[in-house]
């Protein structure tokens, strides 16, 4: 590595609030993950990117681009798909065209095809959002826009965007799931160029239309890891504006959020397991403010078998006002999606990918100890980024948890209320909170003990916490902006004693490869 490149990496690494465990671009604005695809040994992460400004320029939106061999360490590449006379490049997906159904590749060859929304397109008057495609013959390094674009126009609704495309084996067709304001629409195609309308879902479901739908996904997954039992999950992101019914419930932490439905898909239409009459509660994916527009990777080999995604760690309510200066926006850690059966039914859970374990550097390990109110067995630990894996046995305590990134006047509390059966993150004292009136808040997720125990897996970074409760059943993802010097850590209990069954705390090596700070 040249000395110049070393210098650039150190500057990049030392940006105030720069995530050390999460992907973020070196400069300027990013939002939704796009085009998630695995191809010939590389994971591609495309994303909404304004390369010339730290605020979103929707009229000149690009697809930013990064690649990884392990979903942990990322190399940023030049923007992949650029705006032009066809309009801005909004969200979408990418697929491996294994059988060259598109005809873009050599006979018996394969390549990558991106499907995205052009915003501000003038091909048909009054229909500014259309779907277009581009292809790459060199592993995603360069892209050619299809000369026949656009490949799909809206029938009537102006909000017509964020195509997620996948190959449906049973029907031998490509399926597109599209966000169309208050519903999703399904389209099918034999070749990625010619699309036919198949069905729609969601417009007649009450209570889910506070915000416009965005960034849908549809995946088939095993239930309880049983190969012969599968379900389909329809995933919807719900924006913070332009909803059909503003009185409908907003996401648990306010602003933008994500929900899901479990059911079946026959290649043309999605049928939820819950009837419309029995849908008495929205299934939220994350109870924090900052997990949005998550979509899964296409092309992960069958021998791997996992469904993996990342989300944008931000919220449209305050996204363009974040206190980071050189850039705005970063991704969550990659998570594996699973379906598990509980007494109340099948639920989506998320767990951090196993590849993150390579970053671990053990700090402390404790087992079978009792914590009393007012004590702190972690008082000697100082860290600005960490993985905390803990299991607790409920005793006489009324509340317990961790205070992370602490100093004399700063703290973020990750706790559990036994009385309310709630997991929560309280960032009201996490330092830089004044950039938006809705940022300082306490975010709560319902979570019952399991066998009188609570399990927590926590990822703490320079500007975020991601909390996985009871092995991924309840999630709270929140940005925080403490001073780098705020490195204290506390395990606390209120109202009684707490039994620690096990506790492992690991430092996590920076993914940028420089531990000088």
**pLDDT, tens digit (0-9, with 9 covering 90-100), for 455-493:** 999 999 999 999 999 999 999 999 999 999 999 999 999
Considering Cα of 370, then 374, then 377, then 383, what sign does the dihedral take?
positive
Average pLDDT score over residue span 62-79: 97
Average pLDDT score over residue span 155-184: 95
Specify the pLDDT at position 276. Answer: 64
Determine contact, residues 290/315, Cβ cutoff 8 Å. yes
User: Which residues have a Cβ under 8 Å from the Cβ of 207 and sit 6 or more positions away?
Assistant: 248, 249, 279, 282
Degrees, nearest 5: CA angle 229-233-237? 165
107-154, pLDDT tens digit by residue? 878 999 999 999 999 999 999 999 999 999 999 999 999 999 999 999
Residue 227 has pLDDT above 90, yes or no: no
Question: What is the C-alpha to C-alpha distance for residues 4 and 463, in angstroms, rounded to an integer?
Answer: 27
Average pLDDT score over residue span 163-181: 97
Fold of 360-508: Jelly Rolls (2.60.120)
Average pLDDT score over residue span 302-308: 95
358-371, pLDDT tens digit by residue? 999 999 999 999 99
Q: Coil, strand or helix: which one is 99? A: coil
- Return the exposure string of 156-188: e unless at least 16 CB atoms fall within 10 Å of the residue's CB, then b: eeebbbbbbbbbbeeeebbbbbbbbbbbbbbbb
User: Which residues have a Cβ under 8 Å from the Cβ of 165 and sit 6 or more positions away?
Assistant: 93, 95, 115, 174, 175, 176, 177, 192, 298
Domains 23-332 and 360-508 share a fold: no
- Return the exposure string of 316-344: e unless at least 16 CB atoms fall within 10 Å of the residue's CB, then b: bbbbbebbbebbbbbbbbbbbbbbeeeee
Residue 278 has pLDDT above 70, yes or no: no
Specify the pLDDT at position 517. Answer: 43
Fold of 23-332: Tachylectin-2; Chain A (2.115.10)
Specify the pLDDT at position 279. Answer: 64
Q: What's 223's DSSP letter?
A: E
311-320, pLDDT tens digit by residue? 999 999 999 9
Average pLDDT score over residue span 413-438: 96
Q: Please give the mean pLDDT across all residues of the chain.
A: 94
The model's confidence at residue 435, banded by pLDDT at 50, 70 and 90, is very high
Average pLDDT score over residue span 426-435: 95
Nearest Cα neighbor of 476 from 420, 412, 418, 432 is 412
Task: Measure the CA dihedral 41/46/52/58, to 10°.
Answer: 170
Question: What is the C-alpha to C-alpha distance for residues 120 and 140, in angstroms, rounded to an integer?
Answer: 25
Q: What's 333's DSSP letter?
A: P
Average pLDDT score over residue span 387-400: 96
The model's confidence at residue 158, banded by pLDDT at 50, 70 and 90, is confident
Nearest Cα neighbor of 481 from 25, 55, 17, 15 is 17
| Residues forming the active site | 32
Average pLDDT score over residue span 34-60: 97
Q: Whole-model pTM?
A: 0.96
Least confident of 184-193, 273-282, 283-292: 273-282
Nearest Cα neighbor of 67 from 141, 178, 152, 6 is 141
Residue 157 has pLDDT above 90, yes or no: no
Specify the pLDDT at position 246. Answer: 87
Structural domain boundaries in the chain: 23-332, 360-508
The model's confidence at residue 4, banded by pLDDT at 50, 70 and 90, is very low
Residue 29 has pLDDT above 80, yes or no: yes
């Amino acid at each position: 590595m040249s000395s110049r490149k070393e210098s650039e990496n150190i500057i990049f690494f030392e940006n105030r609030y720069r995530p050390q465990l999460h992907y973020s671009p070196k400069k300027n604005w990013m939002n939704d993950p796009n085009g998630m695809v695995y191809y010939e040994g590389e994971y591609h992460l495309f994303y909404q990117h304004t390369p010339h400004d730290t605020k979103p320029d929707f009229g000149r939106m690009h697809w930013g681009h990064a690649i990884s061999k392990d979903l942990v360490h990322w190399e940023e590449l030049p923007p992949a798909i650029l705006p032009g006379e066809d309009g801005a490049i909004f969200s979408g997906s990418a697929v491996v065209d294994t059988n060259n159904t598109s005809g873009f590749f050599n006979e018996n060859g394969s390549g990558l095809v991106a499907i995205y929304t052009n915003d501000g397109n003038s091909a048909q008057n009054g229909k500014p959002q259309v779907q277009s495609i581009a292809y790459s013959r060199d592993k995603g390094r360069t892209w050619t826009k299809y000369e026949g674009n656009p490949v799909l126009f809206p029938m009537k609704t102006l909000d017509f965007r964020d195509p997620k495309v996948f190959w449906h084996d049973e029907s031998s067709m490509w399926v597109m799931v599209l966000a169309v304001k208050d519903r999703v629409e399904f389209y099918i195609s034999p070749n990625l160029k010619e699309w036919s309308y198949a069905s729609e879902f969601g417009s007649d479901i009450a209570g889910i239309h506070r915000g416009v739908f965005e960034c849908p996904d549809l995946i088939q997954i095993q239930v309880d890891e049983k190969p012969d039992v599968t379900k389909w999950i329809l995933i919807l992101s719900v924006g913070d504006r332009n909803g059909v019914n503003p009185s409908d419930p907003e996401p648990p932490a306010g602003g933008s959020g994500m929900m899901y439905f479990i059911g079946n898909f026959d290649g043309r239409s999605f049928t939820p397991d819950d009837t419309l009459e029995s849908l008495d509660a929205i299934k939220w994916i994350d109870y924090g403010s900052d997990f949005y527009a998550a979509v899964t990777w296409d092309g992960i080999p069958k021998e791997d078998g996992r469904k993996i995604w990342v989300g944008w760690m931000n919220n449209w309510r305050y996204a363009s006002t974040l206190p980071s200066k050189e850039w705005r926006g970063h991704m969550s850690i990659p998570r594996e999606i699973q379906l598990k059966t509980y007494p109340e039914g099948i639920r989506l859970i998320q767990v951090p990918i196993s590849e993150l374990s390579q970053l671990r550097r053990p700090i402390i390990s404790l087992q079978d100890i009792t914590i009393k109110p007012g004590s702190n067995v972690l008082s000697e630990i100082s860290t600005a980024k960490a993985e905390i894996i803990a299991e607790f046995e409920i005793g006489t305590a009324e509340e317990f948890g961790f205070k992370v990134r602490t100093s004399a006047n700063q703290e973020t509390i990750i706790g559990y209320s036994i009385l309310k059966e709630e997991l929560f993150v309280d960032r009201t004292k996490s330092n830089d909170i004044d950039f938006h009136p809705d940022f300082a808040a306490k975010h709560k997720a319902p979570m019952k003990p399991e066998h009188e125990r609570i399990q927590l897996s926590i990822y703490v970074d320079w500007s975020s916490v991601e909390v996985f409760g009871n092995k991924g059943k309840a999630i709270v993802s929140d940005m925080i902006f403490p001073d780098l010097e705020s490195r204290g850590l506390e395990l606390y209990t209120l109202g009684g004693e707490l039994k620690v069954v096990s506790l492992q705390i690991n430092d996590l090596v920076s993914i940028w490869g420089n531990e000088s700070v």
